[in-house]
Amino acid sequence: MRYIDNTFLEIPEGWDERALEASRQLLDGERTAEQLSQVWRVLKACLSEASNRRCWYCESTIHRSDNAVDHYRPKGTVKTGRLLEDGSRIVAMEIAPVHHGYKWKAFNLDNFRYSCEHCNEYRKDLDGTAGGKWNYFPLVHEERRAYDAQNERFEVPVLLDPCKALDWQLLSYDSNGRPFSRFDRGTEEDVKIRFSIRLLHLDQQGLNEGRRSCWSLVSPILRDTKYWFVEKLNGNPEAEHNFQEELRKLKQWLNPRNPATYIGFVRYKLRNDRDKKIHPWIDMLLGDI
Ligand SMILES: [Zn+2]
């Protein structure tokens, strides 16, 4: 997962007005969300641009998909579930009263996430694990489920959200690129992470390999950058130039426009670098987010 700043998206001209009218038609029951789906489908290009065609949830490249615009809060009948203790499966649970969808969010720009089919749609992988966000939207406190826009603020979603500055940082990865929870079992963070890993298919062989191979390209650059930084401190006259060159390469791997990067994973590795005390530039490179 990577952080996506969705505060300024280049939306098509006149989209806000079309969305407002579509929202009115949906809430008045004149048309269904599916009949109005073209309104959010046209945003696919601008959402994709924010991550250079990579899924905001899992960071895999999305080649072609008609359904790449995910509603973070579902527009249709909402489902919830419970993760089995061993993390192997999600058991569906009833919501009472039945929730027919966050219809007031159906055309809200803040609610859209660019998503691959693995993350967005219910499916079974070859290894038999089921996942996919679909209409699942579990809450930490089910009793605070919102049935109108006014009460939405009290909800604490279980699913990690790439558009929240801190959510993606909750994920940890082992040396094989597999995501895991570093928090005590059963805590709020732990539940969010383990549920999200399962529901969004984040622990998948192809993804783990992708993270690993990305790091195999970044780590030699990191090693060289550290080397030239120490050389700088030692007064080597060519060190400043070489340090800046290597730093520039690292920045390329942290740039959302890089089509080959797993930014969330690279940032995690840098944030947890054990040499950070003698290499303060790592924190500067990571910036505030
Ligand atoms: Zn995905």
DSSP letter for each residue of 106-133: TT-GGGEEE--HHHHS-EE-TTS-EE--
User: How far is ligand 1, taken at its centre, from the CA of residue 3, in Å?
Assistant: 13
User: How far is ligand 1, taken at its centre, from the CA of residue 61, in Å?
Assistant: 8
The answer on 218 and 132 residing in a single domain is no
The answer on 182 and 150 residing in a single domain is yes
User: How far is ligand 1, taken at its centre, from the CA of residue 54, in Å?
Assistant: 8
Q: Are 88 and 129 in contact (CB under 8 A)?
A: yes
Rounded to whole angstroms, the Cα distance separating 209 from 221 reads 19
Residue 3 lies in a domain: no
The answer on 175 and 64 residing in a single domain is yes
The answer on 239 and 190 residing in a single domain is no
User: How far is ligand 1, taken at its centre, from the CA of residue 87, in Å?
Assistant: 19
> Could you give the 3-state DSSP secondary structure of residue 10?
coil
Residue 6 lies in a domain: no
Sequential pLDDT tens for the chain (289 residues): 999 999 988 999 999 999 999 999 999 999 999 999 999 999 999 999 999 999 999 999 988 766 799 999 999 999 999 888 887 788 888 899 999 999 999 999 999 999 998 898 766 554 555 557 778 999 999 999 999 999 999 999 999 999 998 999 999 999 999 999 999 999 999 999 999 999 998 999 999 999 999 999 999 999 999 999 999 999 999 999 999 999 999 999 999 889 888 999 999 999 999 999 999 999 999 985 5
User: How far is ligand 1, taken at its centre, from the CA of residue 1, in Å?
Assistant: 8
Query: CB within 8 A of 273, min separation 6: which ones?
Result: 222, 279, 282
Domain count across the chain: 2
User: How far is ligand 1, taken at its centre, from the CA of residue 173, in Å?
Assistant: 17
User: How far is ligand 1, taken at its centre, from the CA of residue 168, in Å?
Assistant: 13
The answer on 106 and 135 residing in a single domain is yes
Name the one residue in this structure whose structure tokens are 């732990």: 190
The answer on 190 and 76 residing in a single domain is yes
User: What is residue 130's predicted lDDT score, i.e. its pLDDT?
Assistant: 56
User: What is residue 152's predicted lDDT score, i.e. its pLDDT?
Assistant: 97
Query: CB within 8 A of 270, min separation 6: which ones?
Result: 222, 282, 285, 286
The answer on 123 and 59 residing in a single domain is yes
The domain in which residue 119 lies consists of 15-199
User: How far is ligand 1, taken at its centre, from the CA of residue 244, in Å?
Assistant: 34
Q: Return the structure tokens found at 92.
A: 């569906």
Rounded to whole angstroms, the Cα distance separating 210 from 197 reads 16
> Could you give the 3-state DSSP secondary structure of residue 81?
strand
User: How far is ligand 1, taken at its centre, from the CA of residue 60, in Å?
Assistant: 6
Rounded to whole angstroms, the Cα distance separating 160 from 56 reads 11
User: How far is ligand 1, taken at its centre, from the CA of residue 57, in Å?
Assistant: 5
Is the pTM here over 0.75, yes or no? yes
